[in-house]
A and B are shown apart, each in its own frame.
Chain A
Amino acid sequence: MKYIISAAVSGLILGLGLVVSGMVDPVKVIGFLDLFGNWDPTLAFVMGGGLCVYLPIYHLVVKPRGKTLFDEPCQLPNNSIIDIKLIIGSVLFGLGWGLSGICPGPALVNLSGGQTGILAFVLSMLLGMILTNRFSK
């Protein structure tokens, strides 16, 4: 039960961050990505703020401990190979993100806004994930 509550609280705080930072607004995101046009640098501060918190706590607490605060093992990726899948996947993700201004987190946070476009994006994204899982097996 505690893991369900801690996950819900983590998701809630992360979601609040997406709303407060402006990451939920695809117009703003596209403005940030429009580096060669009418560039809006505001959202660069989002990654800055996120790393200011994540990076030091990870390296000072999580990494040396190797365990959660509940003394369970941390599940960390151990793959360090930069392969063609990482490159192609990232190119595709950037393409979809640039076309829409929406990435997975903000898509979910926007669901309660009641816009059909968001619902269409999320359903389509789920389909993309399901299809990829099927064909990669």
Chain B
Amino acid sequence: MNNLYVEAFVGGMLIGLGAILLMLLNGRIAGISGIVNGALSGFSVQTFWRWAFILGLVVAPFVASITGFTLPTSLPVDTATLVIAGLIVGVGTQIGSGCTSGHGICGIGRLSKRSIVATMIFMGSAITTVAITNLF
């Protein structure tokens, strides 16, 4: 068994654990795009948990580095493409009410029909995008 498969599975379990903890303790769906969007409304008692969750995500690499896991040091595309992609991801996740975490893990985990459909669509769209990009 390839070590990378084990890391992917164990990492996935940690993602699921973090997400279910947010439900068990805060009663919230761990959808990153939704949490970020809610945090954009500013600092208030209602949004503090969102900022705390985001802080947890941002400091995670420092904790991970203790066990030897590091962040990537190069990106596959140029900054102009990242600006366009970021914009589309921001718009798309708000119109579609979720991303990989909210629909892909929490939504499918709840067996939500909307999330199962959303995940199939964004996976299909992403796979198609990569296939088309490869032609150029």
A binding-site residues for B, Cβ under 8 Å: 2-27, 30, 33-37, 42-55, 57-59, 61-63, 67-70, 72-77, 79-82, 85-105, 107-113, 115-118, 120-133, 136
Q: What residues make up the interface of B, taking CB atoms closer than 8 Å to A?
A: 2, 4-5, 7-30, 32-33, 36-37, 40, 48-50, 52-64, 67, 69, 71-79, 81-97, 99-101, 103-106, 108-114, 117-119, 121-131, 133-134
Are A61 and B21 interface neighbours, CB within 8 A? no
In the complex, what residue of chain A is closest to B103 when comparing beta carbons? A90
Bound complex: CA A24 to CA B15 (Å): 12
CA–CA, A40 and B119, complex, Å: 19
Given contacts A92-B88, A104-B93, contact A10 B15 (CB under 8 A): no
Contact B114 A86 (CB under 8 A): yes
Q: By the criterion CB–CB under 8 Å, are A128 and B88 in contact?
A: yes
Expressed in whole angstroms, the Cα–Cα distance for A92 and B22 within the complex equals: 27
Is B26's CB under 8 angstroms from A6's CB?
Answer: yes
Task: Determine which residue in A72, A88, A102, A105 has the highest number of CB atoms from chain B within 10 A of its CB, and name it.
Answer: A105
Query: Which chain A residue shows the least CB distance to B91?
Result: A128
Query: Which B residues lie within 8 Å of A100 (CB)?
Result: 77, 81-82, 85-86, 89
CA distance in complex: A20, B40 (Å) = 28
B96 CB to closest chain A CB, in angstroms?
A: 2
Task: Say yes or no: A22 contacts B90, CB within 8 Å.
Answer: no
With contact pairs A68-B26, A109-B61 given, residues A121 and B20 touching in the complex (Cβ less than 8 Å)? no
A13-B21, A18-B15 in contact; A130/B27 too (CB < 8 A)? no
A12 touches B90 (CB 8 A): no
The reply to whether B11 and A99 form a contact with Cβ atoms under 8 Å apart is no
A15, B58: Cβ atoms under 8 Å? yes
CA distance A62 to B20 in the complex (A): 9
Q: Which of B64, B79, B92 contacts A117 (CB 8 A)?
A: B79
Complex Cα gap A30–B63 (Å)? 26
Whether the Cβ atoms of B122 and A8 lie closer than 8 Å is no
Contact A107 B86 (CB under 8 A): yes
Determine the distance from Cα of A79 to Cα of B112 in the docked complex, in whole angstroms: 9
- Tell whether, in the assembled complex, residue A98 and residue B114 are in contact, meaning their CB atoms are under 8 Å apart: no
Q: Let me know if A126 and B90 touch, CB within 8 A.
A: yes
By the criterion CB–CB under 8 Å, are A112 and B62 in contact?
yes
CB contacts (< 8 Å) of B100 on chain A: these are 97, 103-105
